[in-house]
Amino acid sequence: MSADESSPRQGPVPCRIVLVETHYAGNLGSVARAMRNMGMSDLVLVRPVARRDDTQAVRMAVHAGDVLDNARIVPTLEEALAGTSQSAATAARVVGPVREIKKGFPRDIIPAMVEFATTDRPVALVFGPEPSGLTTADVSLCHHVVKIPADHTYSSLNLAQAVAICCYEMRLAWISRAPRARPVPATFESQDQLFRHLREALEAVGYLFGEKQETLMHGVRHLISRMGPEDRDIKLLHGLARQILWYVRTHPGEAVGLAPEEMPERFPREE
């Protein structure tokens, strides 16, 4: 008996596939077929260039036409990620401060993501447009960066091939994971609201300043999100942000907003 047949997790995999600005209709159909093969049906298209009802898309979908028919079309990646608990951006280029955070091969990243997958709050795999891939702004919205270890002499995979590889790894991780009860993870939108609140508080105390502020905030965002915060953690951190802002408002003129070199030497400085 195969591992899949003996596993208690034979049902649908709670994973959302997000395609950003897909150009070629054949890829839409091929992605739908790969999803159906691996037990997934939640497809979201962000500003698609190709039409899902294109003849080529329908032909390549074979018996997965319902995945195409039920795919949601949304204008932003933020909307596509709404309701998910963890997300991974796929990218061939993984250099730079944003793309360096929590990166790895599919087998390094996806099993850990599955720990946060539930029927109500799926995880998401995000794929960019065929000509250029995801932008750094898109990548920054995700918790992880996945790089498929293709040969360096020709590392550009077809979109549908990349989706099939990641969906296979997702299904393998899902059916291999022993079921256990776990608290409900926070959604993307609740985390995003928290990060906006924390940004306001950190700006108020001068932690976010100058040209490094976006990199610092990105680090804070990923420090929290890669831990898989629960709803109660989100509430606790909102309380922290509120208390910081209250203190700044009620203690004007104190050492708030000072540059690092002007702060008291109570803790080690960040280099």
The predicted-structure confidence for 180-216, as pLDDT tens digits, reads as follows 556 678 899 999 999 999 999 999 988 887 888 888 8
What is d(CA 153, CA 2) in angstroms, rounded to the nearest whole number? Answer: 36
Which residue range(s) make up the domain with 256? 188-262
> Is residue 38 domain-shared with residue 171, that is, in the same domain?
yes
What is d(CA 120, CA 122) in angstroms, rounded to the nearest whole number? Answer: 6
How many structural domains comprise the chain?
Answer: 2
> Is residue 65 domain-shared with residue 161, that is, in the same domain?
yes
Q: Which residue in 163, 101, 107, 112 sits closest to 136, CA to CA?
A: 101
Domain assignment present for residue 268? The answer is: no
Average pLDDT on 145-169 reads 92
Residue where one domain finishes, among candidates 176, 205, 238: 176
The mean pLDDT value of the chain amounts to 85
Mean pLDDT: which of 4-13, 43-52, 90-99 is highest?
Answer: 43-52
Domain assignment present for residue 75? The answer is: yes
Residue 264, pLDDT score: 45
Percent of the chain with pLDDT over 70: 83
Domain assignment present for residue 271? The answer is: no
Domain assignment present for residue 183? The answer is: no
> Is residue 125 domain-shared with residue 244, that is, in the same domain?
no
Residue 270, pLDDT score: 46
> Is residue 25 domain-shared with residue 122, that is, in the same domain?
yes
pLDDT per position as a tens digit, 54-86 = 999 999 999 999 999 999 999 999 999 999 999
Domain assignment present for residue 11? The answer is: yes
CATH number where 149 lies: 3.40.1280.10
> Is residue 53 domain-shared with residue 146, that is, in the same domain?
yes
Average pLDDT on 236-257 reads 83
Q: pTM here? A: 0.71
Residue 53, pLDDT score: 94
